[in-house]
A and B are shown apart, each in its own frame.
Chain A
Amino acid sequence: MSNETRKIGGVVISHGQVATELVAAAEAVIGDVSHIAAVSIGWHDDVEMAKDEIARAISNVSSGDGVLLLTDMFGGTPTNIAAMFLKENEVEIVTGVNLPMVIKLASGSEGSTLREIAIMVEEQGKEAICQAGLLLAPQKLKKDA
């Protein structure tokens, strides 16, 4: 993978430290996540301060091709503040962030538009939620047999 390819930037935004730790976990798995920032909004943080922090994060990770904001929960303050930045082809939001979504954004954005990436990350996030027991069951049965 070439570093010269421009990547869609990402900002993970959450209540508490979830965002910071999700980005740290993604980095531990895949290495370079320099185009993804984390904004952890404290329970008592001022909305204006949080908004400024998100604005700074967006400009830090932007390479001109758009920035995807991944927030923890639709309807929560992090999403509501993030929504102030929504702008077609420049800033999109996908809610319900999980680790596979961050990994998907970190590793798979070359050559895709912001809109395409938003759809890919949303689908990846949904696919990644499963009852592990159902996927692993055939293996277990074999062992028991």
Chain B
Amino acid sequence: MLEHTLTVINPLGLHARAAAKLVRLASKYESSVAIQRLDNGVTADAKAILSLLYVAAGPGSVISLTAEGPDEDEAIAAIEQLFSSGFGEI
């Protein structure tokens, strides 16, 4: 299992369309992918949009990203890129 810590930097946070982008990206990988908000421990499956919305990760939230499976390296790298690009919104 791989773990990486990320920060939500886009001004709208992990809102519905951003979460949908994360789901589309995470679903390309065989590995299971989860995110967890580090301040309150709320966790979500990164391939399930409605669970992601309940993480309520606003701008500035610090997130632990974990992936486990045969392509976990690629999954982490791609998702890290998505977060660092502010979901294409900045």
Residues of A that sit less than 8 Å from B by CB: 1, 28-31, 100, 103-104, 107-108, 124, 128, 135-136, 138-139, 142
Closest Cβ neighbor of B15 among chain A residues: A29
B residues touching A (Cβ–Cβ < 8 Å)?
16-17, 20, 23-24, 27, 39-40, 48-50, 54, 56, 58
B55 to chain A, nearest CB (A): 10
Contact B56 A31 (CB under 8 A): no
Provide the residues of chain B in CB contact with A104, threshold 8 Å: 50
Q: How many pairs, one residue from A and one from B, have CB atoms within 8 Å of each other in the complex?
A: 29
In the complex, what residues of A have CB within 8 A of residue B20's CB? 29-31
Instruction: Say whether A31 contacts B24, CB under 8 Å.
Output: yes
> Which residue of chain A lies nearest to B42 when distances are taken between CB atoms in the complex?
A135
Smallest beta-carbon distance A43→chain B, Å: 30
The complex places the Cα of A128 from the Cα of B16 at a distance, in Å, of 13
Q: Which residues of B contact A29 (CB under 8 A)?
A: 16-17, 20, 49
